[in-house]
Amino acid sequence: MTRSGTWEDIAKVVFGVPSIRIDVRWNGRLSSQAYQQRRDISIPEKWRLPADVLSNLPTDVTGIPREFLSDREIELTECTASQLAKRIAKRETTSVEVTVAFCHRAAIAQQLVNCLTEIFFEDAVHQATELDRVLEETGKPIGPLHGVPFSIKDHYNIKGLRTTAGYISYSKFPPKEKDALVVEILRKAGAVFYVKTNNPQCMMVLETVSNIYGRTLNPKNTKLGAGGSSGGEGALLALRGSPVGLGSDIAAFNGLYGFKPSGKRVPTSGWECTMIGNDPIPAVAGPLGHSVEDLDLFFKVISDAEPWFHEPLLELPWKTDAQLGFDPSCLKIGVMVWDEVVMPHPYITRVINEVADKLKAAGHDVVEFKPYDHGRAWSDILLPLYFTDGGLDIKNTLAASGEPMFSSAKRLLDDPINKMRDIHDIWRVSTIQSQSSGHKAYVFSSTLPVMSIGLNTWLIGMPRPA
């Protein structure tokens, strides 16, 4: 980045996160430094970590929050979302007590790894107070998430808050007048929203850094990133600053459970990003949490709300293992050690094979799954359909404020495969995509008779530590 011309100021992330040089020019609007300060003063004084602690942090900061929480706060914040919902419903605790505990832990997480964009603790406590009143008067929770704190990735809209989605030019937009549909559904089920989490400039990268809020660090090793584009969610959850959150990625970097579903399962109306309407590669939303049970709870809440009456989604009720006919004691598990493009590190392949052996010993049917033409997927299908406009929408959004592009986004957009495509070329690539999907389905169901009744789950090796 340059400090010459219109980019003159240097913004620093405060409250203990290592200084991050960010160039700022806002054409008279709030600077990113002001945005960060507005967020950080939302942290109550009593929850701010001492300067001597912040100046001597270990590389692994996951143990720090416990040093500043009460025993009761530790107990509550280390429950899963499903456990919290049950405890609140049984009146073993209150929504207010749980909400305050997670607000405290989220405040600590922000000071350690810079994972938040919006902090609205007071609103959350007001909502929790109302939920406690309803439970006291009626004896019944309003829904399966009654009183459970719920964090959410920045680019989903929440009424009364701004959504920058990692872009400086989006800062000029006024606060949103309504919740995103998925937020509305979760709120009606009793979820308590209290923070929004960081996402990167242009969204489409594997690290979380923007010119507005800076870089999110990995709690397990602050010399590394937290992944992306849902890195803020991942880092917050890794520090137990949230019991469950909404992102748009698989879980890979922070030791969590995640579910990135197929398209048209979870509502996506009411979120902000570039390239909206790019149907060949549909955007999807999904939960991140601390247990499979929490992921199941999320999808049941969404499905029971019948969102297909409000958005063009698949009318598919959420089914349990029993409804699907799965026997949890004998699952059919496909194992793909590598994708035949990037060989994982040796110790990763070793662990995958060890897990496969243990699954076999436990009585599960473990079968090898061969990838189909994965090398072609990126260059011939995915990247061309990601950026059918050659990245013009992203470039125009950055140019609107004079915002410089981060190197991670630049590498992606400068790939020679990216170019402005006419409609005939889009049709051509879309046809390749459709044919590839059809061939994969054929290979899966017909040429591998051992899998003819389908897999229950997958075990897939990652190329490197994540």
In this predicted model, what pLDDT tens digit does every residue of 256-313 receive, in sequence order? Answer: 999 999 889 999 999 999 988 888 888 899 999 999 999 999 999 999 999 999 999 9
Mean of pLDDT over the chain: 88
> Does residue 11 carry a pLDDT above 80?
no
Residue, of 294 and 437, whose pLDDT is higher: 294
> Is residue 67 very low, low, confident or very high in pLDDT (cuts 50, 70, 90)?
very high
> Would you state the pLDDT for residue 454?
54
> Is residue 31 very low, low, confident or very high in pLDDT (cuts 50, 70, 90)?
low
For residue 85, give the nearest of 238, 297, 288 by alpha carbon.
Answer: 297
> Would you state the pLDDT for residue 9?
31
> Would you state the pLDDT for residue 459?
66
Q: What is the mean pLDDT of residues 357-369?
A: 91
> Is residue 451 very low, low, confident or very high in pLDDT (cuts 50, 70, 90)?
very low
> Does residue 323 carry a pLDDT above 50?
yes
> Would you state the pLDDT for residue 461?
60
H or E element at residue 104:
helix 95-113
Which domains, from first to last, does the chain contain?
1-318 (3.90.1300.10)
Q: Output the CA torsion sign for 243, 241, 103, 121.
A: negative
> Does residue 250 carry a pLDDT above 80?
yes
> Would you state the pLDDT for residue 234?
98
> Does residue 447 carry a pLDDT above 50?
no
> Would you state the pLDDT for residue 458?
62
pLDDT digits (tens, 9 = 90+) for 111-127: 999 999 999 999 999 99
> Does residue 333 carry a pLDDT above 90?
no
> Around 460, how many Cα atoms within 13 Å sit in the side-chain half-sphere?
13
Q: Answer yes or no: are the C-beta atoms of 185 and 285 closer than 8 Å.
A: no
> Would you state the pLDDT for residue 12?
35
> Does residue 28 carry a pLDDT above 50?
no
Q: Answer yes or no: are the C-beta atoms of 123 and 115 closer than 8 Å.
A: no
> Does residue 413 carry a pLDDT above 70?
yes
> Is residue 7 very low, low, confident or very high in pLDDT (cuts 50, 70, 90)?
very low
Q: What's the whole-model pTM score?
A: 0.89
Q: What is the mean pLDDT of residues 337-354?
A: 90
> Does residue 25 carry a pLDDT above 70?
no
> Would you state the pLDDT for residue 219?
98
> Is residue 30 very low, low, confident or very high in pLDDT (cuts 50, 70, 90)?
low
Tracing tokens 């530790």 back to the chain, one arrives at: 74
Q: What is the mean pLDDT of residues 383-408?
A: 93
Q: What is the mean pLDDT of residues 388-407?
A: 93
Lowest mean pLDDT among 11-15, 100-104, 152-156, 418-422: 11-15
Token representation of residue 391: 């990245």
> Would you state the pLDDT for residue 339?
87
SS3 content of the chain, % helix, strand, coil (to 5): 40, 15, 50
> Would you state the pLDDT for residue 320?
80
> Would you state the pLDDT for residue 3?
29
Residue, of 159 and 368, whose pLDDT is higher: 159
Residue, of 323 and 424, whose pLDDT is higher: 424
> Is residue 172 very low, low, confident or very high in pLDDT (cuts 50, 70, 90)?
confident
> Around 228, how many Cα atoms within 13 Å sit in the side-chain half-sphere?
26
H or E element at residue 350:
helix 346-361
> Is residue 10 very low, low, confident or very high in pLDDT (cuts 50, 70, 90)?
very low
> Does residue 202 carry a pLDDT above 50?
yes
> Would you state the pLDDT for residue 14?
34
> Is residue 342 very low, low, confident or very high in pLDDT (cuts 50, 70, 90)?
confident
Strands 244-247 and 257-258, bridge-based pairing: unpaired
> Is residue 462 very low, low, confident or very high in pLDDT (cuts 50, 70, 90)?
low
> Would you state the pLDDT for residue 331?
84
> Does residue 428 carry a pLDDT above 90?
yes
> Does residue 165 carry a pLDDT above 70?
yes
For residue 36, give the nearest of 99, 104, 115, 102 by alpha carbon.
Answer: 115
For residue 238, give the nearest of 77, 70, 124 by alpha carbon.
Answer: 77
